[in-house]
Amino acid sequence: MIREFFYLQKSDRKVILSLLVVIVSVFTMIFLTGGKDTSTVTPQKDSLQSVTHKNYYYASSSKKVERFTFDPNTADSTQLLRLGLQPWQVRNIYKYRAAGGIYRQPIDFAKLYGLTVKQYRELEPYIRISSDYLPASTLVKYKPNYSQNAPKDTAEYKPSTKIKATEHIVLNTADSAALITIPGIGPYYARRIVQYGNRLGGYVSIEQLDEIDDFPVEAKQYLVINNPSPKKLNINQLSLNELKRHPYINFYMAKAITDYRRLHGTIKSLNELRLIKDFTPEAIKRLTPYIAY
């Protein structure tokens, strides 16, 4: 019975055998090709090209650092990034200002988290703090107190008497009390004049007052300079830190001086440094009265 059930004619056996051969061939091809879908290859390739192109883009982009004058109290994020600061440093500056923080002098900017000494020294010559951010107390002037109980004989209650147009004050010997008698000069500018003169080592020209931010030009007519004898810097003996304290010598100039001394020995004239970028004819001219050899 079983033999009769599985008995097939010769033609049927050929058909079944052909189907088996076809099925085996199909499974063999699938096994050899690993079942890969060629349709997925192209997107992967495109994705790889896209990633490669993206990596190449970022690798080729470079951040150009610029140098220009800026006020850290008002500079926007674009300016701060152009100066070479990192985005997280810019965010810290914005947070500091939003919390009411004010940069009152350039050295205050050195407190920025993550700022190195080298970065600060490079930025320091370009920091300009507006007088708008100084304490409001600098605007207060001494006024007479007309109260009957006020001590009229104290200087606090006496009005300052301004000098006449024909009178003059010697700039290098005047103190703050004398300077506030000049029309247009109050305690703030009187203090700035004295401080800047001390940093210079003495004034050699009235025009140097223009180097003080927002200095009232009309006040210069009341000032004179008699026999200027500025304090001189021994260019061959002072260290880099001592040299760059002078307003006319920045970090790069001080470094150039010390490097030149190390390579060439004693400097006999500032003209020896004229080939260095920072020692322009104008810089040499204004620095000359303050240099000794």
Q: What are phi and psi of 224, to 5 degrees?
A: -135, 160
Domain membership of residue 20 (yes or no) is no
Range of the domain at 245: 233-292
Domain-terminating residue out of 170, 194, 224: 224
Tokens of 130: 């507006």
Number of domains comprising the chain: 3
First vs last C-alpha separation in the chain: 129
Q: Which of 112, 63, 110, 64 shows the shortest CA–CA distance to 88?
A: 112
The answer to whether 133 touches 163, Cβ cutoff 8 Å, is no
Tell me the whole-structure pTM to 2 decimals: 0.47
Residue 185 is given by DSSP the state -
Q: Which of 193, 186, 179, 188 shows the shortest CA–CA distance to 222?
A: 179
Domain-terminating residue out of 133, 167, 198: 133
Q: What are 31-64's pLDDT values in tens digits?
A: 777 654 444 444 444 444 444 444 444 444 456 8
Domain membership of residue 106 (yes or no) is yes
Name the band, by pLDDT with cuts 50, 70 and 90, for residue 76.
very high
pLDDT at 254 over 50: yes
Domain membership of residue 176 (yes or no) is yes
Contacting residues for 117 by C-beta, under 8 A, at least 6 apart: none
- For residues 97-118, give the mean pLDDT: 89
Domain-terminating residue out of 173, 190, 224: 224
